[in-house]
Amino acid sequence: MYTDLLHLLLGLLLAVFVHRPSNRPADLEQPAATIDGIDVSSYLPEAHRPVRAAFVVLVRNSELVGMKRAMRQIEDRFNHKFNYPYVFLNDMPFTEEFKTETAAMTRANVTFGVIPQEHWSYPAWINQTYAGECRQEMHKQGVFYALTESYRHMCRFNSGFFFRHPLLDEIDYYWRIEPDVEYSCDIDYDPFLFMHRRGIKYGYTIALHEYPETIPTLWKTVKEFVTSNPEFVRHPAGYSWLSQDGGETYNGCHFWSNFEIGSLAFFRSPEYLAYFDYLDRAGGFFYERWGDAPVHAIAAALMLRKEEVHWFEDIGYYHNPWTNCPQSAESRLRCHCDPAKSAVHHYWASCTKDWLLLPDTAPKDDTAAE
Ligand SMILES: Nc1nc2c(ncn2[C@@H]2O[C@H](COP(=O)(O)OP(=O)(O)O)[C@@H](O)[C@H]2O)c(=O)[nH]1
Ligand SMILES: [Mg+2]
C-alpha cells in the first residue's frame, strides 16, 4: 500500500518535472501522435510532407566542417522529427567527401546541385574592367569584402537565381542555412506549415541596417523601377520601414538573409523577376556590392503586406556576430542562448521590431485555409 502511494507520488513528481511547455503556437497544440494536426508519419524521410519544403544551402566544399556543425544543430533542435530534405548548391561540383559526410548527418533526403554557369558569371552588359576599378576603389575606402568577385556572384545568385535551380522545381518553401550558424532552441512545430496556414511569405529572425558604402545607388535604382512599374508596390506602408524621410533615402533596414524561411512563389512572381532584372541591368551587383539581403528586403517590404512577413522571435539563432534569442521565461527551458544578448536590444538591429510597428493592412485571420 505504501509502495503504491510512493509510486503514485513519484509518478506525479515526474509528470510535473518532465512536462516542458512547448513553443508551439496555442492553436497548433496537438496530442503527441500528431504535429500541428498532421500525422507524425507524414514526417518520415520518404513520406509526402504537408508542405513541399527544403533547406536550401549555398556552400563551398571548404566549409564542410562548419556545415556539419550547423546541420547537427538543425537536426537536434528540429529536423530529426520533421526530416525536411536538404538541397546543397555550389558553383563547383561537390566533393565525394562533402556529399558523404553531410548525408551522414541526417536521415532526410539530401541532393547536391551545381549552379548553371549563367547564374554565376558576368552578364554581357557588365564592363569587367570598370568592375575591377570599382572593387579597388571600394577597397581603398575600407569596404568589407570589397575585392572579392565571388562574393558578388554569391549575392547576385541569392538575389535572382537560387529559386530557379532545377532541384527546387518541386519545392514551394525554403529555409536558408549557412555553415557555422547556430540554432539554440528546440523548435517543436513546423515553421513551413505555420507559414503556409497563415499565408506568410517571408520569415526572418534579425533585421539590421545595411552598410551604406555597399549600396550607393541601390535606392535610386529601386525608385526608377517603381516609377515605371508602380503596381510593384502592393504595400505602401513598407516605405516607412525602409525610409525615415518619406521614401527620399533608404535607411538600410533589411532582413538578415543568412536566415530566411520563405515562399518561392514570391521570388518566382513576374513582379519580383522584373524587379531583379532591372537591378541586374543597372550593374550594382558588380560596380558596387549590392547584397541579397537589402534586395530581398526591399521587395518584401513593398510587395508583401505586413502580415505576410513574420518575425520568428521564438527561433534562437546565431550568425556571427548577431544572435536572436527569445525573451520569454518559457523559452529558457528549451534554449541555450542569453536573452540579454539578443540583437533586438541593440540600436543597429532596431529594424527587427520596427516591422511590427507598421500599421496592419488586413484583418487578423489565423484560420486561413491551407
Ligand atoms: N559555393 C559557394 N558558396 C559561397 C561562395 N561564397 C559564399 N558562399 C556561401 O554563401 C553564403 C554567404 O557567404 P558568407 O561567406 O557566409 O557571407 P557573409 O555571411 O555575408 O559573411 C554561405 O552559405 C557561403 O557558404 C562561393 O564562392 N561559392
Ligand atoms: Mg555567412
Which residue would you say has higher pLDDT here, 210 or 280? 280
Task: Report which protein residue has its CA nearest ligand 1's atom 3.
Answer: 59
Of 55, 56, 58, the one to substitute when testing ligand 1's pocket (max ligand atoms within 8 A of C-beta) is: 58
* Per-residue pLDDT at 32: 59
CA of 315 to the centre of ligand 2 (A): 18
- In a domain? residue 316: yes
- In a domain? residue 44: yes
- In a domain? residue 59: yes
Average confidence score pLDDT of the chain: 92
- In a domain? residue 21: no
Task: Report which protein residue has its CA nearest ligand 1's atom 19.
Answer: 258
Contact in structure between 295 and 250 (CB atoms under 8 Å): no
Quote the CA–CA distance of 241 and 97 in Å, as a whole number. Answer: 44
* Per-residue pLDDT at 33: 84
**Does the C-beta of 178 come closer than 6 Å to ligand 1?**
yes
pLDDT grade for 254, boundaries at 50, 70 and 90: very high
Q: Identify the CA nearest to 114 among candidates 161, 68, 74.
A: 161
* Per-residue pLDDT at 341: 97
pTM above 0.85, yes or no: yes
Q: Which ligand is nearest to the CA of 182?
A: 2
- Looking at this protein, which amino acid is placed at residue 350? S
For the CA atoms of the chain, what is the radius of gyration? 22
Residues in the chain: 370
Q: Is the pLDDT of residue 325 over 80?
A: yes
Backbone angle region of 142, left / alpha / beta, with phi > 0 → left and psi within -120 to 50 → alpha: left
CA of 208 to the centre of ligand 1 (A): 19
Give residue-wise pLDDT tens across range 39-50.
Answer: 999 999 999 989
* Per-residue pLDDT at 26: 61
Give residue-wise pLDDT tens across range 185-223.
Answer: 999 999 999 999 999 999 999 999 988 999 999 999 999
In whole angstroms, how far apart are CA 350 and each of 241, 319, 343? 11, 17, 8
- In a domain? residue 365: no
**Does the C-beta of 60 come closer than 6 Å to ligand 1?**
yes
**Does the C-beta of 59 come closer than 6 Å to ligand 1?**
yes
Q: Is the pLDDT of residue 370 over 70?
A: no
- In a domain? residue 352: yes
* Per-residue pLDDT at 29: 55
**Does the C-beta of 150 come closer than 6 Å to ligand 1?**
yes
Residues 6+ apart with CB under 8 A from 83: 43, 44, 45, 47, 106, 107, 108, 109
Helix pair 292-303, 270-282: axis angle to 10 deg: 140
* Per-residue pLDDT at 102: 98
Residue 179 maps to which CATH number? 3.90.550.10
* Per-residue pLDDT at 15: 42
Q: Identify the CA nearest to 89 among candidates 200, 174, 165.
A: 165
**Does the C-beta of 291 come closer than 6 Å to ligand 1?**
no
- In a domain? residue 353: yes
Average pLDDT on 289-297 reads 98
Which residue would you say has higher pLDDT here, 90 or 16? 90
Share of the chain above pLDDT 90, in %: 85
Which atom of ligand 1 is found nearest the CA of 258? 19
* Per-residue pLDDT at 23: 66
Task: Report which protein residue has its CA nearest ligand 1's atom 24.
Answer: 59
* Per-residue pLDDT at 25: 63
- What is the extent of the structural domain holding 173? 37-357
Q: Identify the CA nearest to 307 among candidates 361, 256, 251, 226.
A: 361
- In a domain? residue 12: no
Q: Is the pLDDT of residue 369 over 50?
A: no
- For every residue of 210-272, DSSP letters joined together read PPGGG-TTHHHHHHHHHHH-GGG-S-GGGHHHH-SSTTSS---EEE-TTSEEEEHHHHHSHHH
**Does the C-beta of 179 come closer than 6 Å to ligand 1?**
yes
Q: Name the DSSP letter for residue 91.
A: S
* Per-residue pLDDT at 224: 98
Q: Which of 63, 210, 260, 307 is catalytic?
A: 260
* Per-residue pLDDT at 12: 44
pLDDT grade for 360, boundaries at 50, 70 and 90: confident
* Per-residue pLDDT at 361: 79
Q: Is the pLDDT of residue 24 over 80?
A: no
Per the annotation, the verdict on 260 as an active-site residue is yes
* 7 CA to centre of own chain: 48
User: Sign of the CA dihedral 221, 310, 186, 325?
Assistant: positive
Give residue-wise pLDDT tens across range 124-153.
Answer: 999 999 999 999 999 999 999 999 999 999
**Does the C-beta of 63 come closer than 6 Å to ligand 1?**
yes
Task: Report which protein residue has its CA nearest ligand 1's atom 4.
Answer: 59
Domain total for the chain? 1
CA of 170 to the centre of ligand 1 (A): 24
Nine-digit cell string for 235: 504595400
Residues 6+ apart with CB under 8 A from 12: none
Q: Is the pLDDT of residue 232 over 70?
A: yes
